[in-house]
Structure 1
Amino acid sequence: MLSRTMRGLTASVTLALFLLVDSAAANEPKPGTYCPPGATVCDIYSGGRKPPKPGNDGKPGDGGGTGGGGGSSAKCMARDGSGGQFEVPCHSESGWFDATTSCYWLLWDPQPPADDPVWAGHAPGDGAVYNGQCPGQPLMGGLRWFQNPPPGYGGGPNLAALAEEAVTKMRLLGADIGIAPKRGGTGTVGVPVWVWNGPSPQTTGPTSASATALGVTVTATATVQNVVWNFGNGTTVSCPFPGTPYSATFGLNPPSTANGQCGMPGYSRVGGYTVTATTTWAVHWVGGGQQGDLTTTRTSDVPVLIGELQVVGQ
């Protein structure tokens, strides 16, 4: 027969193991969560329940399948203590998942009193305190102050912002200006000026790039919609094409937009001018079950010097 001391020790160990297992289970994402209407990255349906299936008399779903309201059941990736990764819902009863900390964060309610050390010297209202639950790393959670909501908090990523990030990655440029009269030389009053855009992915396109957050990837493709050439004398020409490099075979013929050529008939006065090219890029992006369009502009310029016609012998 076990002594009273031995029985007490056994009960204490059993209780400790139970609490340890229960604590670990509490840090795991809760099953049966789904996407709210319109969400693209998360795993919870509004109200925490799956929408009723047709024909089941309005009863909640049984915990399987995908969420309703046009959402998806995209997953986030959490890190374990050994550096491995595993899938978790992007939202659970523990809050919204932040891939940077690999934790769920839930706004603490009510907020701690002003003298609580968790504010780290900040006053209530300056940011907020959130409670963290970290699947696979239970010792990494707890209360923490954030100036702004943790990444991923409140839903899926901003798809338009991801598209902008993809555009930044493209490193789009203004026109690589080619011009006749050539750079560094001197043109002549009344002689046609030709301009063109040197082709490359960053100057004429098309070019693509992607950006990813919370398991959602947005891919954006940029093409040049138009280039407006301003010749510095009040003349502007719009060219929705790169233009044609000048060739001696063109002689003194002015460029024709109908033939895919850009430029103008010529300057009427001597002097220095700046030719400015404003490129409008059209960007189409796709990702997260959505798509959209945006435009962005880039500008480049080149100086040009115009002189009088010199007649030999005078």
Structure 2
Amino acid sequence: MLRPVRLLVSAAAAAAVVGLIAAPAGADGPGTSCPPGVLDCDVISGGGKPPAPGTGGGDDGGSGGGGGGGSAGSVTCTAAGKKVPCFREDLGWFNASDNCYWEVADPQPTAADKDYVTATTGAPDDWKPGDGRFYNVTCPDAPIAGGLMWRQTPPPGLGGGPDLAALAQEAVTKMRLLGADVGIAPKAGGKGGSVGLPVWVWNQEGARTTGPATASATALGVTVTATATVKNVAWDFGNGTTVSCPFPGKPYVSSYGAQVPDKGRGQCGFAGYHQSGNYTVNATTTWAVHWAGGGQQGDLTTTRASEVQIRIGEVQVVGQ
């Protein structure tokens, strides 16, 4: 479907460039990079509606606790403090630097249109076909500001400018998030506990183990700031028992005796092993990260892993 572009031009100029003042929703693709704020996209040929942003995962490159993966979560764009669609099928991609939507014009100007485009679109006087690219620009809050525009490089939101999602990942890397700093009773690596006695676990608190941790990354004058907090720790006790705790847990103290950890009281663990032996206790920490910058914000997750070894013996009976 053809969509007219709003241009303030004379009748003569309009007649000379009738092929330039209308553009279909589809146009040539802007390049081979995902738009900022989109962690997972498919590069397409043609400027129609791209596939919906996915929730792709990936290692964010952070260190500590055995590494981990991540997922994109949600991404939003904002204009004047209000959320707006990052993509509109009828307008194209949102450019946070000017609060306008941009899409590649189709058809692109030809040599016969040089006088018009150099006079009205910002193209240089020595412009030649193939030099830069022309875009249909629509500014919902300032309609007169839109029109046919020329750029040597793609605008932010169309593969140009910094990749905000990549900056968010860079900020996460700077945090050097860790897996759980495992506290456990019976004590790891010691004489161990006994069959039938409860096992307590906790994540010792710190900026890199429980959060909140904050870091920023900057590129091309745009800064993205990310804040990470632990969403939960999934504990695998090596005997088929798993427990997920959305809190650090409370360290065991002798006054608890043989009390089984109670999640309702912020305690984490389980009732105990049924067989003696050596067990590996794995802790997988899920970090929730919120980032904002460049007129966009989003949420992602990343994980870190850690483990400890414990020994469980048989209950000793006096007189045996």
TM over 0.5: same fold? yes
Gaps of 5+ in 1: 1-35, 49-59, 72-90, 98-151
Q: String of CA shifts for 1:114-164, please: whole Å, max 9, x gaps.
A: xxxxxxxxxxxxxxxxxxxxxxxxxxxxxxxxxxxxxx9951211111111
Select 2:94's aligned residue among 38, 60, 85. Answer: 38
Q: Say if 2:280 is the partner of 1:274.
A: yes
Give 1:285's aligned residue: 291
Match for residue 173 of structure 2 among 168, 177, 180 = 168
Which aligned runs of 4 or more in structure 1 are off by greater than 3 angstroms?
Answer: 40-48, 67-71, 91-97
Q: Distance in 2 between matches of 1:211 and 1:70?
A: 30
Point out the structure with max Rg over C-alpha: 1
TM-score (norm 1): 0.55
Amino acid at match of 1:199: E
2:258 alignment partner in structure 1? 252
Counterpart CA distance in 1 for 2:208 and 2:140 is 36
**Deviation digits for residues 253-281 of structure 1 (CA, Å, limit 9, x no counterpart):** 10000000000011000001110111110
> Structure 1 residue 69: deviation in Å?
3.5
Identity %: 63
Q: 1:284 to 1:43 in 2, by over 3 A?
A: closer
Aligned-residue RMSD, C-alpha: 3.4
Number of equivalences: 194
Which residue identity does 1:157 align to in structure 2?
P
Question: CA deviation digits over 1:57-97, x for unaligned, max 9?
Answer: xxx799xxxx96479xxxxxxxxxxxxxxxxxxx9855479
Q: Within 5 A, what are the aligned runs for 1:90-101?
A: 95=153
For 1:205-220, what aligned pairs fall within 5 Å after superposition?
205-220=211-226
Residue of structure 2 in register with 1:306 after alignment: 312
Note if contact 1:270-1:307 (Cα within 8 Å) is conserved in structure 2. yes
8 Å Cα contact 1:41-1:214 kept in structure 2? no
> How do 1:78-97 and structure 2 match up within 5 A?
95=153
Q: Of the two structures, which has the highest relative contact order with CA contacts closer than 8 Å and spacing of 6 or more?
A: 2
Structure 1 pair 190/175, CA: closer, same or farther in 2 (3 Å)?
same
Aligned counterpart, 2:76: none
Q: How does 1:44-59 map to 2 (within 5 A)?
A: none
Which AA in structure 1 matches 2:254?
Answer: A
Contact 1:270 1:308 survives alignment (8 Å): yes
| 2:236 aligned with 1:230 | yes
1:28-177 correspondence runs (5 A): 38-40=94-96, 69=139, 95=153, 154-177=159-182
Cα distance change of structure 1 residues 70 and 285 upon mapping to structure 2, 3 Å threshold: farther
SS at match of 1:311: coil
Q: Is the 8 A contact 2:94 2:100 kept in 1?
A: no
Q: Which residue of 2 aligns with 1:82?
A: none
Whole-Å separation in 1 of the counterparts to 2:138 and 2:162: 19
Structure 2: segments with no counterpart, 5+ residues: 1-91, 105-119, 123-136, 142-148
Normalised TM-score (structure 2): 0.54
C-alpha distance in 1 between matches for 2:140 and 2:306: 44
Q: Secondary structure in 1 aligned to 2:258?
A: coil
Aligned position for 1:241: 247
Within 2, Cα distance between the matches of 1:204 and 1:293?
17
Supply the distance in 1 between the matched residues of 2:101 and 2:248 (Cα, whole angstroms): 50
The corresponding residue for 2:115 is none
AA at the equivalent of 1:39: N
Check whether the contact 1:197–1:243 (CA below 8 A) recurs between aligned residues.
Answer: yes
